[in-house]
Amino acid sequence: MPRTSSRKAPTNSTASGNSSSVDLFRAASGKAASKELERIDLLFYSYASNSSGVIDPEGIEALCSDLEVDHTDVRILMLAWKMQAEKQGYFTLDEWRRGLKALRSDTIIKLKKSLLDLENEVRRPSNFVDFYSFAFRYCLTEEKQKSIDTESVCVLLDLVLGSQFGPQVDALIQYLKMQIDYKVINMDQWMGFYRFCNEISYPDLSNYDPELAWPLILDNFVDWMQSKQG
């Protein structure tokens, strides 16, 4: 006769017990997530304007005060990037939820601690290009606006790139302030400068090739740099 298996099928009571454990775990997880979202929302409304229902510039000032950072600190821009905020100086409830859930921060103390981790996250090459692009778009404050005035670009460049490519940023800012041909900078020029910082030997500029479809402003910048170098 064929040998019967000695393995026993789980009894109904065992299966029922396992199912109950899973259900309890799911219920507990769902309850914890719900509580976390409640705390995130409560934190949002502590900064949101009663009239508009969003966190406006005044609310962001209060948030920065509680985080003990200046409102011009690059980490606030990084926080906006994490929230995928659309309008400069304003955070909606959906944006706030998206950012704080990703950072697992439902209190101001947790959010304050998360800023360092966020900075490290943004500095990864895979994320920084997206952040750099976001920084430009975030400063387009008017509908259908496609460019930013050179004065504002100088401030933004120093904020976003100054710590990584200080000499290049300082030189471009100096050039932008003295030249008279460009009043505004567009996205293509903005992204072109980041490529320039990553690819071009500086300060000798030996591998810069104007035939490689660089934005014209960078050709002019390089000409200016080379004329200064003699």
Please report which confidence band the pLDDT of residue 12 belongs to, taking 50, 70 and 90 as the band edges: low
Q: Is 82 exposed, middle or buried (0-12, 13-18, 19+ CB in 10 A)?
A: buried
CATH number at residue 201: 1.10.238.200
Examine the domain organization and report whether 76 and 155 are in the same domain: no
Q: Which of 98, 109, 82 is nearest to 41 (CA)?
A: 98
Examine the domain organization and report whether 151 and 113 are in the same domain: no
Domain-terminating residue out of 75, 90, 123: 123
* Residue 147 falls inside a structural domain: yes
Please give the single-letter amino acid code of residue 88: Q
Domain interval for residue 162: 129-229
Average pLDDT, stretch 54-67? 98
For residue 5, what pLDDT is reported? 47
Contacts of 207 (CB under 8 A, 6+ apart): 199, 200, 201
Average pLDDT, stretch 26-32? 60
Domain-terminating residue out of 99, 123, 147: 123
CATH number at residue 59: 1.10.238.10
Average pLDDT, stretch 41-61? 97
Please report which confidence band the pLDDT of residue 54 belongs to, taking 50, 70 and 90 as the band edges: very high
For residue 33, what pLDDT is reported? 77
Please report which confidence band the pLDDT of residue 22 belongs to, taking 50, 70 and 90 as the band edges: low
For residue 230, what pLDDT is reported? 76
With beta carbons less than 8 A apart as the criterion, state whether 148 and 139 touch. yes
Q: Pick the range with the lowest mean pLDDT from 7-21, 66-80, 116-130.
A: 7-21
Please give the single-letter amino acid code of residue 34: S
Q: Which of 196, 198, 203, 208 is nearest to 230 (CA)?
A: 203
pLDDT tens for 74-104 read 999 999 999 999 999 999 999 999 999 999 9
DSSP the chain: -PPPP-PPPPPHHHHHHHHHHHHHHHHHHHHHHHHHHHHHHHHHHHHS-TTTSSB-HHHHHHHHHHHT--TT-HHHHHHHHHHT--STT-B-HHHHHHHHHHHT--SHHHHHHHHHHHHHHHHSHHHHHHHHHHHHHHT--STT--EEEHHHHHHHHHHHHTTTSHHHHHHHHHHHHH-SS-SEEEHHHHHHHHHHHHHS-TTT-TT--TTS---HHHHHHHHHHHHHH-
pLDDT tens for 143-171 read 899 999 999 999 999 999 999 999 999 99
Average pLDDT, rounded, for the chain: 91
Domain-terminating residue out of 89, 123, 157: 123
Domain count, the chain: 2
Q: Pick the range with the lowest mean pLDDT from 23-27, 99-103, 138-142.
A: 23-27
With beta carbons less than 8 A apart as the criterion, state whether 118 and 82 touch. yes
Q: Which of 225, 139, 130, 222 is nearest to 184 (CA)?
A: 139
